[in-house]
């Protein structure tokens, strides 16, 4: 039976109650086995397990028998259960492996192009001003692409590292979306696309990380401007709705009127480095990480991404966020 638990334990296992049996609240087989063994042997036990709710977390449990004095002068053996969250360490290990594999694969193409043009400029095109200007322009584009790729990989790594920690700051979505749209106005003019903003005048508050939300909307609106440019306009709107479970949520919709996306591609769009058209993506300066980053940011905010598209009739990307029920500390 539970004698005492601190706030962190109550947050980890909300079903834990004082004076009630621990195994009813701690349902992981690894925990129950370790606890029974510690009680039977009165020796310390250690166990690791994966907690799937609300997000995947790797935990380590240390059970230490502790003698506690009784009212009548004797002692009872109590079990001190200490939980350690190993998730940040595990995520760092996974990210290191993913980063090396992904970066080496994606950086090889622009690096090969840079090396080839450098060799050409040092050799056959050494005294050709026109070729030099053209090659330097291509080299600048490839270097910019590498820098953006590294920036996206680092952003993805940072979000994944804190995926199990939900943001607790209250932010207003309206100025964030407007800031992103204003910043992308030059790209819109270049692509001859009009960004239509349909947002309420009153604040719309959610629990969120401002910098991550800026990155999220930047990716969604920039994708619409690049891949839906032929439609001539992009609509960014906001509405209140209910999730599948009936919980109130805020939805931000980014709709383009471009060529749309074939149905077979929709389930895989948020995979790292997945592209509908590799050549077109690279031509547009895409890294293949934008929607993966969007998905991970939404996961951290306990939200979700909806993608709807009809070929030749544009696409709508919807970011859904839980509504703030009570004031959140700033």
In angstroms, rounded to a whole number, what is the distance separating the alpha carbons of residues 285 and 249?
A: 33
In angstroms, rounded to a whole number, what is the distance separating the alpha carbons of residues 177 and 237?
A: 10
Domain 166-330, CATH class in plain words = alpha beta
The confidence score (pLDDT) of residue 298 equals: 93
The confidence score (pLDDT) of residue 292 equals: 87
Domain boundaries, the chain: 7-85, 88-164, 166-330
The confidence score (pLDDT) of residue 54 equals: 67
Q: Where are the beta strands (DSSP E) in the chain?
A: 45-51, 57-69, 75-85, 170-172, 194-198, 205-207, 233-242, 248-256, 304-309, 315-322
pLDDT in tens, the chain (330 residues): 888 888 888 888 888 888 888 877 787 888 888 888 988 888 899 988 888 766 778 889 899 988 888 777 777 788 899 999 888 888 777 767 776 776 777 777 778 888 888 888 888 888 888 888 888 888 888 888 888 888 887 888 788 778 778 888 999 999 999 999 999 998 899 899 999 999 999 999 999 999 999 999 999 999 999 888 888 899 999 998 888 777 889 999 999 998 888 888 888 888 877 777 755 555 655 677 889 889 999 999 999 999 999 888 899 999 999 987 654 444
pTM to 2 decimals? 0.61
Q: Which long-range contacts (CB under 8 A, 24 or more apart) does 138-141 make?
A: 138/113, 139/113, 139/114, 141/285
Please count the CA atoms within 13 angstroms of the CA of 39 that sit on its side-chain side. 11
Crossing angle for the helix pair 87-122 and 129-161, to the nearest 10 degrees: 180
The confidence score (pLDDT) of residue 147 equals: 84
Sign of CA dihedral 291, 297, 301, 302: positive
What is the C-alpha end-to-end distance of the chain, expressed in Å? 38
CB 26 within 8 A of CB 32: yes
What are residue 278's phi and psi, to 5 degrees?
-60, -45
> What CATH number should be reported for the domain whose range is 88-164?
1.10.287.130
C-alpha distances in Å from residue 57, one per residue of 61, 89, 164, 197, 296: 13, 11, 7, 38, 15
The confidence score (pLDDT) of residue 234 equals: 93
Residue where the block lists tokens 């250690």: 46
What is the enclosing helix (H) or strand (E) of 179?
A: helix 173-183
């Amino acid at each position: 039976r539970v004698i005492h638990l601190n706030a962190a334990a109550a947050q980890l296992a909300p079903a834990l109650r004082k004076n009630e049996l621990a195994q009813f609240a701690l349902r992981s087989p690894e925990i129950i086995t370790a606890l029974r063994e510690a009680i039977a042997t009165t020796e310390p036990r250690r166990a690791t397990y994966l907690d799937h709710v609300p997000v995947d977390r790797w935990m380590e449990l240390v059970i230490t028998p502790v003698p506690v004095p009784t009212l009548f002068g004797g002692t009872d053996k109590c079990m001190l259960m200490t939980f350690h969250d190993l998730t940040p360490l595990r995520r760092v290990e996974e990210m290191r492996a993913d980063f090396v594999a992904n970066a080496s694969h994606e950086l090889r193409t622009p690096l090969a192009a840079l090396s080839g043009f450098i060799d050409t400029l040092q050799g056959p095109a050494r005294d050709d001003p026109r070729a030099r200007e053209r090659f330097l322009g291509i080299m600048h584009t490839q270097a910019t692409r590498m820098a953006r790729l590294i920036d996206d990989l680092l952003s993805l790594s940072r979000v994944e590292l804190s995926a199990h920690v939900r943001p607790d700051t209250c932010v207003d979505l309206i100025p964030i979306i407007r800031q992103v749209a204003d910043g992308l106005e030059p790209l819109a003019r270049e692509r001859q696309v009009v960004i239509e903003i349909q947002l309420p005048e009153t604040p719309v508050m959610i629990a969120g990380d401002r910098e991550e939300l800026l990155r999220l909307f930047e990716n969604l609106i920039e994708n619409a401007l690049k891949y839906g440019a032929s439609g001539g306009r992009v609509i960014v709107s906001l509405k209140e709705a209910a999730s599948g479970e009936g919980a109130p949520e805020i939805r931000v919709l980014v709709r383009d009127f471009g060529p749309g996306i074939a149905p077979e591609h929709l389930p895989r769009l948020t995979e790292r480095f997945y592209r509908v058209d590799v050549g077109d993506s690279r031509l547009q300066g895409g890294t293949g990480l934008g929607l993966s980053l969007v998905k991970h940011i939404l996961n951290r905010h306990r939200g979700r991404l909806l993608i709807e598209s009809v070929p030749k009739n544009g696409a709508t990307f919807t970011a859904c966020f839980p509504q703030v029920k009570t004031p959140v500390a700033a």
